[in-house]
Amino acid sequence: MISNFSKLFRRLYKQFFIMLLNKKKLYLSILNYHILHNDQLSGIAKDEIIYANKLQDFQRQIKYISDNQYQVISLEEYVKGKLPFAPTLSKPVIITFDDGHASQYVIGMPALQEYGYSATFFVTVGKIGTENYISWQQLRQMRDDGMAIMSHTMTHAFLSDIPVAQVRWELQESKKILEQELGKPVDFLSLPGGRCSRIVKEIAKEVGYKGICTSIIGYNYPDTDPYSLRRWTITKNMSFSTFQAIVEGKKSTLAYYKSRQIILNGMKRIMGNELYANIHKEITSGLKS
């Protein structure tokens, strides 16, 4: 009976949240980071520099979220509909990190803790403990400090390009190892390179994931498919005014980035993931720090 009441409450809450959305145009921004640095780029591959944000830029962004009373919540809170009834309901934000680079622990976590914020860290399990990546000891400390540790697969393979059996292994094995090592449920998956397919989503559901973070640009609402969560990747060349526009939900910024993504997705389909990734790597490798 308690279970049925809980389900009814969540359904009524979701309907209430949708009603608020229609009245106030509520939206959820999920921000995505990869690497942070203190002007020291050693250990960062040339093609990764585009995703390497300076600490001072990250601090300025987090301070803006705090100063403007955005509410940093978790993926679990969003997907399960546990957002609190509060004036800040209209300004929720989720902070995520992909890959598991060591800078996320060394630089990112202290910056978050300064404001009392938590984040979700999607780690590539096969890289844990290798050079420039987070160790198991660091992950346990992050877990103890309230950070969520989730899966970015075993090997960071493009899931849409590999056999079904390997997709299942990437998703299931990474989830199992993280849960065994950290003693916490691993309910969310982040897609390497944003590559996805219907089969990937089906397998994710089958092996027990409750949601998938994609690389699709945009905002999330109470009725957004939890297996197709939109995110904003924050890159090194993004201006602070653009960051502000993203978290403020500016339609013009969304339109610009969506049109850009449509063009890039078209190029991926024409070239194929491997050729596109190689060209992208060559271009980003030539960027100055």
CA distance 114 to 116: 6
DSSP E strand boundaries for 1-139: 29-33, 35-37, 52-54, 71-72, 92-99, 120-123
In angstroms, the CA 1 to CA 192 distance is 41
Point out the least confidently predicted range of 25-34, 144-153, 279-288. 279-288
Residue 264 tokens read as: 């890039």
Give the pTM. 0.85
Are 211 and 80 in contact, with CB atoms under 8 Å apart? no
- What CATH number labels 2-285? 3.20.20.370
244 neighbors 29 (Cβ within 8 angstroms): no
- Would you say residue 16 has pLDDT above 90? no
In this prediction, residue 2 has a pLDDT band, given cuts at 50, 70 and 90, of low
Show the tokens assigned to 257: 């980035």
- Per-residue DSSP letters for 181-240? HH-S---EEE-GGG---HHHHHHHHHTT-SEEE-S--S-B-TTS-TTSB--EE--TT--H
Give residue-wise pLDDT tens across range 99-120. 999 999 999 999 999 999 999 9
Length of the chain: 289
Residue 13's Cα: distance from chain center in Å? 25
Task: Please determine, for residue 166, whether its predicted confidence score (pLDDT) is greater than 70.
Answer: yes
More confident residue, 43 or 245: 245
